[in-house]
């Protein structure tokens, strides 16, 4: 979750939530937008022209954004904003014009291109120019309120804490009162967002209906090559598959927290207070691993210290990642990657250090942007990010509208799939460790990973479930906060640490809500990465515990991976999934298989206590 890929088209969808209104107004008076029906020849020409125009504008915006991210100044920010505004305006105009050709007799490929073009929008704004202007101001206001949010203890403006500072408290403090203040302090920043969000929902839904969708949530769900209601049912099916694993982890965690803080703070028959799980949103619990770690959890090596002792530099860290892919049969990274990437933090200027993989020209100009540290964490991050770069290069031969992952969860899932192969056997093959640790230490490893991967699942599911209910009208504005906490208790088993009312707007304390960024992709990526990993390990002939598998050096697994990556988004995602796994349905049994030893251990721990 911390190292999200931001490809141009995927990123474009997020950016619509911030500035779509200004761009939309640029085509409001365009007489060519959805006027009459277009012929087959007109449609084919429209698609070809649209792809050419979007490719050119995406490259220009990508270059401007790269410079802005690796050389932050007022000027580079302004240039990037101008390029993005032009791109957004063109994309919005083309998405609306595409509707003119909905009934044309087109090939399946052209029909898919039209569908993908129309679904590039994340925020469907109304046609009325005044309402478009209003939704622009609302989205800017909500995102601005979130970005400026700070907690000032005791109202002291000289001691205000930013979100990053509050997150450090949430991660490291073991004082319940300090944690409670940090949690409540951050959540109060969302109060002003509430009134704007109510109006935003009204305007967004109006735009979605004008585009032929039931509401905005239905439009989002339509991006998954399924009927909206069928996609919602699919999400629930996947959740039910993983729920027993989550329940075992939850029961163990609640008991250990109760031992730490006492039953008056964490009662064994009540939800866990949300401020005690090491994260502002209780979406990942890895920060409290020291409170939960089993005995004999030491794996016997410290990769960070090993890398430093070998005087490993940032370039060598990336070379390790490249070597993983070449061992599978992929080509080495192009020379331009090494010439143009930013893999260390420059000493002479401000940059965005958040790790990300870039596809500048949609062919071979892929880059890594990362302020690489010589740590075990960044060793894994490098493998993750290069997974995105190799995906980008694999589909570069496709038409422009197909140069994207099969759905918005696939890219992130591929990065994480690669990272799952960073195992002790892999490190031994690289010569970084002398021997594979005793399996007795594996429970600690699996527990730590589950606190990241498994603990996230219910939160990854409920954020959009809440928004779907809001957009559909099932949840009214008077019940926004009530519905949020009902979902959080139902799925996560957590409760607010302080009383909440409808004066609060706790969903708005999570960036993706005020920023209008869909969240289902993160839940699906956490499911798909294990399904991908299991399929590749099976192809490689691996027969041991799934968590011990690394596909490093296996050409057969590499061939299967490359075949799926090369498809891009040219076919519906079930076809891409089948090319990789032989299965055409998402299946959470892979994550169950991966954590099977941990599940048995957790159940035994929980049973001993209950007896």
Tell me which residue of 344, 354, 356, 351 sits closest to 313, measured CA to CA: 344
Which residue in the list 44, 512, 515, 575 is annotated as catalytic?
512
Tell me which residue of 95, 90, 109 sits closest to 208, measured CA to CA: 95
Q: Are 104 and 75 spatial neighbours (Cβ–Cβ below 8 Å)?
A: no
Q: Kindly list the distances between the CA atom of residue 114 and the CA atoms of 38, 43, 93, in Å, as whole numbers in the listed order.
A: 13, 9, 13
Q: In the beta sheet, which residues pair with residue 161? A: 151
Q: Which two tokens stand for residue 242?
A: 């993983």
SS (H, E, C) 368-404: EECCCCCCHHHHHHHHHHHHHHHHHHHCCCCCHHHCC
Which residue in the list 197, 480, 522, 547 is annotated as catalytic?
522
Catalytic residue list contains 522: yes
Within 71-155, residue ranges assigned H as helices are 74-97, 108-118, 129-148
Which residue in the list 187, 275, 383, 388 is annotated as catalytic?
388
State how far the Cα of 493 lies from the Cα of 505, in Å rounded to an integer. Answer: 19
Catalytic residue list contains 512: yes
Q: Which two tokens stand for residue 373?
A: 């540290």
State how far the Cα of 444 lies from the Cα of 296, in Å rounded to an integer. Answer: 8
Catalytic residue list contains 354: yes
Question: Is residue 371 left, alpha or beta, with left meaning phi > 0 and alpha meaning psi from -120 to 50?
Answer: beta
State how far the Cα of 58 lies from the Cα of 51, in Å rounded to an integer. Answer: 10
Identify the burial level of 569 via C-beta atoms within 10 angstroms of its C-beta, where 0-12 means exposed, 13-18 middle and 19 or more buried: buried
Identify the burial level of 312 via C-beta atoms within 10 angstroms of its C-beta, where 0-12 means exposed, 13-18 middle and 19 or more buried: middle
- Torsion sign across C-alpha atoms 501, 503, 506, 509: negative
Helix axes 555-567, 376-394, angle to 10 degrees: 60
Catalytic residue list contains 384: yes
Catalytic residue list contains 178: no
Backbone angles phi, psi at 368, to 5 degrees: -115, 130
Which residue in the list 51, 134, 412, 539 is annotated as catalytic?
412
Which residue in the list 143, 385, 404, 539 is annotated as catalytic?
385
Element (H, E) at 525: helix 520-539
Max alpha carbon distance in the chain (Å)?
Answer: 74
Catalytic residue list contains 383: no
DSSP string of 306-328, one letter each residue: HHHHTT--HHHHHHHHHHHHHHT
Collect all residues with Cβ–Cβ distance below 8 Å to 518 and sequence separation of at least 6: 13, 122, 220, 408, 464, 512
Which residue in the list 187, 383, 384, 526 is annotated as catalytic?
384
Which residue in the list 178, 331, 354, 474 is annotated as catalytic?
354
Q: Which two tokens stand for residue 444?
A: 């600690």
Which residue in the list 61, 80, 314, 355 is annotated as catalytic?
355
Q: Are 184 and 498 spatial neighbours (Cβ–Cβ below 8 Å)?
A: yes
State how far the Cα of 430 lies from the Cα of 310, in Å rounded to an integer. Answer: 13
Q: Which two tokens stand for residue 609?
A: 């206590």
Collect all residues with Cβ–Cβ distance below 8 Å to 115 and sequence separation of at least 6: none
Q: Strands 272-273 and 494-495: what pairing? A: parallel
Q: Are 419 and 383 spatial neighbours (Cβ–Cβ below 8 Å)?
A: yes
Residues forming the active site? 354-355, 384-385, 388, 412, 512, 522
């Amino acid at each position: 979750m911390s190292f999200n890929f931001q490809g141009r088209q995927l990123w474009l969808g997020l950016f619509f939530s911030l500035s779509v209104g200004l761009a939309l107004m640029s085509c409001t008076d365009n007489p060519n937008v959805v006027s009459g029906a277009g012929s087959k020849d007109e449609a084919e020409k429209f698609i070809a022209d649209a792809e050419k125009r979007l490719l050119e504008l995406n490259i220009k915006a990508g270059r401007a954004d790269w410079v802005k991210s690796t050389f932050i100044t007022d000027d580079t920010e302004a240039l990037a904003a101008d390029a993005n505004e032009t791109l957004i305006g063109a994309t919005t105009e083309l998405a609306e014009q595409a509707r003119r050709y909905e009934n044309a007799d087109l090939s399946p490929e052209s029909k898919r291109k039209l569908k993908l073009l129309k679904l590039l929008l994340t925020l469907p704004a109304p046609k009325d120019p005044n309402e478009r202007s209003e939704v622009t101001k609302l989205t800017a206001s909500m995102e601005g309120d979130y970005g400026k949010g700070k907690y000032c203890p005791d109202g002291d403006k000289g001691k205000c804490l930013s979100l990053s500072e509050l997150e450090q408290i949430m991660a490291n403090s073991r004082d319940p009162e300090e944690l409670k203040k940090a949690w409540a302090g951050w959540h109060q920043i969302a109060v002003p967002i509430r009134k704007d969000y109510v109006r935003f929902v009204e305007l967004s839904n109006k735009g979605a209906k004008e585009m032929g969708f039931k509401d905005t949530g239905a439009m989002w769900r339509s991006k998954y090559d399924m009927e909206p209601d069928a996609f919602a049912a699919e999400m629930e099916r996947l959740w039910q598959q993983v729920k027993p694993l989550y329940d075992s982890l939850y029961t163990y965690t609640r008991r250990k927290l109760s031992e730490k803080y006492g039953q008056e703070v964490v009662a064994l028959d009540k939800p866990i207070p949300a401020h005690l799980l090491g994260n502002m949103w209780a979406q990942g619990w890895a920060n409290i691993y020291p409170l939960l770690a089993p005995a004999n959890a030491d794996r016997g090596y410290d990769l960070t210290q090993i890398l430093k002792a070998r005087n490993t530099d940032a370039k060598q860290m990336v070379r390790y990642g490249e070597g993983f892919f070449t061992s599978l049969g992929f080509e080495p990274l192009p020379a331009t990657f090494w010439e143009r990437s930013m893999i260390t933090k420059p000493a002479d200027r401000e940059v965005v250090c958040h790790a990300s993989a870039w596809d500048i020209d949609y062919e071979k100009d892929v880059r890594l942007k990362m302020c690489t540290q010589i740590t075990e964490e960044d060793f894994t991050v490098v493998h993750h990010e290069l997974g995105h770069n190799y995906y980008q290069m694999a589909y570069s031969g496709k038409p422009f509208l197909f140069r994207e992952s099969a759905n918005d969860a696939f890219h992130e899932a591929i990065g994480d799939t690669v990272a799952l192969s960073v195992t002790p056997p892999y490190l031994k093959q690289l010569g970084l460790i002398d021997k594979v640790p005793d399996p007795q230490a594996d429970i600690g490893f699996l527990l730590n990973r589950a606190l990241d991967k498994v603990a996230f699942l219910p939160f990854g599911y409920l954020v959009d479930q809440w928004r779907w209910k809001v957009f559909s009208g099932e949840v009214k504005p008077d019940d926004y906060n009530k519905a949020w906490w009902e979902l959080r208790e139902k799925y996560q088993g957590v409760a607010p640490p302080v009383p909440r009312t409808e004066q609060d707007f706790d969903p708005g304390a999570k960036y993706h809500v005020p920023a209008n960024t869909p969240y289902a992709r993160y839940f699906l990526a956490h499911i798909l990465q294990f399904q991908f990993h299991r399929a590749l390990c099976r192809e490689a002939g691996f027969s041991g515990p799934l968590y011990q598998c690394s596909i490093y050096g296996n050409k057969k697994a590499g061939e299967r991976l490359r075949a799926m990556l090369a498809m891009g988004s040219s076919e519906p995602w079930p076809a891409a999934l089948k090319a990789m796994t032989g299965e055409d349905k998402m299946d959470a049994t892979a994550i169950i298989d991966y954590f099977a030893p941990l599940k048995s251990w957790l159940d035994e721990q929980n049973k001993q206590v209950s007896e």
